Amino acid sequence: MRTAFWLALSVAVWSALPLQAQREKLSWDELAIVEKTWPKARKTSTGLRYIILKEGTGDATPQPGDKVAVLYQGRLLNGKVFNEELDPARPFRPRIGRDQLIAGWEEVLKQMKRGEKRLIIVPYELGYGTRGNPPRIPRRATLVFEIELLDFSKE
């Protein structure tokens, strides 16, 4: 009886561990910068971190195939801006789920509502990977974006 109890307890503990354990996607140096600069950032299961800067409206979120209209600024972890589209008259207009976006954007845009603005911290695995996007984005670069979802449609 006692053995069965300990066996059941061991199985329960060991089966719960994988649900909580996940490999950190950032290096120790990057993690220190992120935790100091954005201590309230939430972390997803993929390692992406985000802060909702402005709440969106409604319940709908973009789905694969939808065309989105977004304003954004992309920076390296050191603050250097590498790309931006900030003019509401000419927003960036990619389609979700059509290999037009990095994985970090795909993940976060499918969670956002119209009018929502987020700061996202994208580990290199969800960004431009081990190769980067020279000359503006170095290899294994953690990226920081402010993204505002203006609108989306099936258009």
pLDDT at 13: 47
Residue 135, preceding peptide bond in cis (omega within 30° of 0): yes
Q: Vertex 81, ends 54 and 61: CA angle to 5°?
A: 35
Architecture of domain 24-153: Roll (3.10)
Question: What ranges do the domains of the chain cover?
Answer: 24-153
Q: What is the pLDDT of residues 54-86, one digit of tens each?
A: 999 999 999 999 999 999 999 999 999 999 999
Q: What is the pLDDT of residues 109-122, one digit of tens each?
A: 999 999 999 999 99
Which whole-number Å values give the CA distances from 103 to 40, 110, 115, 152, in the listed order? 22, 11, 21, 18
| 2 vs 102 pLDDT, higher one | 102
Residue 103 identity (one-letter amino acid): A
Q: What is the 3-state secondary structure (H, E, C) of 85-110?
A: ECCCCCCECCECCCCCCCHHHHHHHC
Query: For the ranges 4-8, 36-40, 145-149, which has the lowest average pLDDT?
Result: 4-8
